Homo-oligomer: A and B are copies of this chain.
């Protein structure tokens, strides 16, 4: 049932001097936090949690990526809105805008992940597999435990493999 995480299809990165790909983040746990700047639950819960994750874990262990993804209000959103948002909320982790699909209201990354809305959170392990995918608010304690386990799992698993070799 474990699925390989689909690659990002996005544009207009903030807090990153170049576009990021999941393929380039192998070896790290990735937290993909989908949000929408006018979604109350994204703003009250999803975004502050993503920022806390970014501040809690070592960048060499955990990469946090924000994804602005929405299937409505397309005329309201622009790169200027996201730029102002990132500035006003003093966010430090990399954030990208999901790639619009000319044939559908659902943008491409949101579509690939079959996200139900925002906030959505996807945990991807060091090998690129999706280990958790939620819609709505997520409890900090449980999420911390899951990220902590994913970080620890692979380190020790590697040790296990090399010990066994």
Contact = CB atoms under 8 A, between A and B. Distances in A.
Copies in the complex: 4
Nearest to A164: B163
B145 A89 contact: no
A91 to B, nearest CB: 10
Contact of A38 (B37, B44, B142): B37
A78 B77 CA distance: 9
26 contacts: A37-B37, A43-B43, A44-B44, A49-B141, A52-B139, A53-B141, A56-B142, A56-B145, A73-B80, A73-B87, A73-B88, A76-B84, A81-B81, A140-B140, A144-B145, A144-B146, A144-B147, A145-B147, A146-B148, A147-B148, A149-B149, A149-B151, A152-B153, A153-B156, A156-B160, A160-B164
A40 B73 CA distance: 21
Contact of A149 (B78, B139, B152): B152
Contacts of A157: 156
Interface in A102-156: 139-149, 151-153, 156
